[in-house]
Amino acid sequence: MLLPVFTLKLRHKISPRMVAIGRYDGTHPCLAAATQAGKVFIHNPHTRGQHFSTSRVFQSPLESDVSLLNINQAVSCLTAGVLNPELGYDALLVGTQTNLLAYDVYNNSDLFYREIADGANAIVLGTLGDISSPLAIIGGNCALQGFDQEGNDLFWTVTGDNVHSLALCDFDGDGKKELLVGSEDFDIRVFKEDEIVAEMTETEIITSLCPMYGSRFGYALSNGTVGVYDKTARYWRIKSKNHAICIHAFDLNSDGVNELITGWSNGKVDARSDRTGEVIFKDNFSSAVAGVVEGDYRMDGHIQLICCSVDGEIRGYLPGTAEMRGNLMDTSAEQDLIRELSQKKQNLLMELRNYEQNAKAESSGPLNETDGQRGIIPANTTLRTSLSVNLGNETQAAHAELCISTSNDTIIRAVLIFAEGIFVGESHVVHPSIHNLSSSIRIPITPPKDIPVDLHLKMFVGYRSSTQFHVFELTRQLPRFSMYALTSPDTASEPISYVNFTIAERPQRVAMWLKQNFLFPEDTNIQSAPFQVCFTSLRTGCHLFIKIKLSGEITLNTDDIDLAGDIIQSMASSFAIEELQVEADFPVYFEELRKVLIKVDEYHSVHQKLSADMADNSNLIRSLLVRAEDARLMRDMRTMKNRYMELYDLNKDLVNGYKIRCNNHTELLGNLKAVNQAIQRAGHLREIIFMARHSGSCL
Ligand code: CA
Ligand code: CA
């Protein structure tokens, strides 16, 4: 079994995800981690007695080998690494909601300290694309910014939502790194410098990303999912009821391939095979894991995997030796596996006995009451499933609907549905009360986003008196645009916003694409071109017109710029379109944007006025203080008292002014986010062309 080669217990708490290792003097690896009350500690076990004392750094009163760095604000991201290759040692980078500090720990000096309007939720350090110098890239309120060693922002772009995770990875295998961005809108976006080249939609906020090797990378979601992607394809994933705090790639079994190491909220650390997700090693801490990093902490030439818990426990593991042949777990884990397998064997044997008995009963004549109880149903029983749109009523909102029915008088006792991103916990069980059992069942389905989803169904079929049931299993795909109902164009008003493009496909193929991606009533007949179809969004009630001309010219009328983008993307991938000329106009949308920009301007000028007021007030405070002090020296207590009363009032005004400033700042941030998202959306129509071209070259 693989045991830690060292264990330390620091007397400082560690904030989750805020852990990094750096060689701040170019030689000795030191652990840096954010701790409570706006401080970062640096653990230096290598050079005892070397202490710093400047305004930022002081020695920990708890431990002699720990220095503390004062940030005076909650730390929201932290990393360490080479920012200036000429220095020969690592920089420490600490981000907060308002600033980014690049710190030279060795010389006790700031490399730079920058104000960050959009906050720093995530940070990654390294080279991006063709930009020659290493960048400290931070992600915040819809914005991405990359700084060089002097604090110049050489990289800036916007993304769809608040950024939660970042990683650098050579996604397309051209030897240069792309930026992976995980955000609050469940998307993983891949940036080739400032251009989006791929976008993968997940089912929850992407909390962590890490490069594995080549184009393969690990990811973690806020719902306890971890997994591995290779380019745009998901390799595997698992879902736990605990939260994955951090992930890291490390070759723990020495087979030359990195495993995905995950640190969990319940104190577990596990290593999973990059190919299968199978656990090859696990260990437990007594508190939640805060960070997983790697470094040669013992300075003996071997890199250790280093795991830290929120309580300050640090364990280092060396990769398994050749003699262990990849068996990193102890024998009790093996026994667990044997127990699990024999349970499986028992279950299968029971199932086999049932089949044998059923076969015997079937050959002995027609069905009777006891056969029904044992779950025997007519051999020709089949299940029919269909998907449709239900417009809802006063008590139920409009939704997509799955209808399942049996081909005879058998009843459906229960239905289990497994589908990502639709149900809480990814599964849904429908079991009608005993009085409502029938041979058909309707299940409402409300996908929150327009993405195609596989519905994995298990249906229990039998009779009312049955105690055992026959289980039917099948998978149906819910079309991407299932939350749109076909509407008569006469009853709908045509949106003025539109996208126009021409594709070299026969109109019949476009009709087929429509049938695959929307839910049509069964009797719908799409005539030959030119034709138009009109849909109503079940979520917003807005209309969508799709018009197809014989020439292949297609016009989409919708005020929803995201929907237009999604439809073009879906067509582009169905028809393998590599390049598409798109003409678009969204006047309603741009009018909204114009209003937001005016607001942003207003908030900016209020901000400037408030800042000027504050500067005036500080001058006034200085003079009042001087005059109060003069009065004290003259023993003129009355004047002194009056001056202090004035100061007191001024202080109250300042506090009020500060509150207004804070509110103003919050409003400004909200509006800036809207602007950032607008820029991204407008870019989306353009990116589609690029993405289509890109995926073409991938194939
Ligand atoms: Ca690349
Ligand atoms: Ca390995």
Tell me which residue has tokens 């640190």: 263
> Which pLDDT value is given to residue 658?
80
Distance 218 CA to ligand 2 centre (A): 14
Instruction: Quote the tokens at residue 71.
Output: 């940030």
The number of the ligand nearest the C-alpha atom of 176 reads 1
Distance 323 CA to ligand 2 centre (A): 15
Tell me which residue has tokens 């769809």: 160
Distance 217 CA to ligand 2 centre (A): 14
CB burial class (10 A; 0-12, 13-18, 19+) of residue 646? middle
Peptide bond into 530 cis (omega under 30): yes
What's the Cα-to-Cα distance from 664 to each of 504, 604, 611, 615, 654, rounded to whole Å? 52, 9, 12, 18, 15
In terms of C-beta distances under 8 Å and separation of at least 24 residues, what long-range contacts does 487-494 make, across chains too?
487/534, 487/535, 487/536, 487/543, 488/534, 489/532, 489/533, 489/534, 489/545, 492/534, 492/536, 492/543, 492/545, 493/543, 494/543, 494/545, 494/557
* Model confidence pLDDT, tens digit, residues 440-452: 999 999 998 898 8
CA distance 557 to 587: 12
* 156, amino acid identity: W
> Which pLDDT value is given to residue 522?
84
- φ and ψ at residue 331, rounded to 5 degrees: -70, -30
Q: Which of 34, 640, 31, 569 is nearest to 298 (CA)?
A: 31
Distance 179 CA to ligand 1 centre (A): 9
Distance 406 CA to ligand 2 centre (A): 49
Q: Which residues pair with 478 in a beta bridge?
A: 453
Q: Nearest 5 degrees, angle CA 370-CA 372-CA 378?
A: 130
Distance 270 CA to ligand 2 centre (A): 13
Q: Which of 240, 236, 233 is nearest to 282 (CA)?
A: 240
- Total Cβ atoms within 10 A of residue 225: 21
Intra-chain end-to-end CA distance of the chain, in Å: 43
Q: Which residues pair with 39 in a beta bridge?
A: 35, 70
Protein residues near ligand 1, an ion, with CB under 5 A: 170, 172, 174, 176
> Which pLDDT value is given to residue 365?
63
Q: Return all residues near 379 (Cβ < 8 A) that are at least 6 apart.
A: 362
Distance 295 CA to ligand 2 centre (A): 17
Residues 192/242, Cβ–Cβ less than 8 Å: no
Distance 159 CA to ligand 1 centre (A): 19
Residues 188/179, Cβ–Cβ less than 8 Å: no
Helix (H/G/I), strand (E/B), else coil: 528 = coil
Distance 254 CA to ligand 2 centre (A): 5
Helix (H/G/I), strand (E/B), else coil: 527 = coil
Helix (H/G/I), strand (E/B), else coil: 231 = coil
> Which pLDDT value is given to residue 473?
95
- φ and ψ at residue 36, rounded to 5 degrees: -65, 165
Distance 194 CA to ligand 1 centre (A): 13
Distance 80 CA to ligand 1 centre (A): 23
> Which pLDDT value is given to residue 692?
42
CA distance 159 to 174: 23
Provide block-wise average pLDDT over 10 residues at a time, the chain (699 residues): 92 96 95 92 78 65 86 95 95 96 93 92 96 96 93 90 96 96 94 90 95 96 96 94 96 95 97 93 96 95 96 96 80 77 91 80 65 74 94 90 94 94 88 91 93 93 88 94 93 91 88 93 78 93 93 92 89 86 85 85 84 82 88 89 88 83 79 76 58 37
Distance 280 CA to ligand 2 centre (A): 9
Residues 181/157, Cβ–Cβ less than 8 Å: no
> Which pLDDT value is given to residue 664?
80
Residues 668/604, Cβ–Cβ less than 8 Å: yes
Distance 252 CA to ligand 2 centre (A): 5
Residues 101/71, Cβ–Cβ less than 8 Å: yes
Helix or strand holding residue 514 (H, E): helix 507-517
Helix or strand holding residue 334 (H, E): helix 331-363
> Which pLDDT value is given to residue 42?
95
> Which pLDDT value is given to residue 698?
31
The number of the ligand nearest the C-alpha atom of 255 reads 2
Classify 268 in phi/psi space as left (phi over 0), alpha (psi -120 to 50) or beta. beta
* Model confidence pLDDT, tens digit, residues 267-312: 999 999 999 999 999 999 999 999 999 999 999 999 999 999 999 9
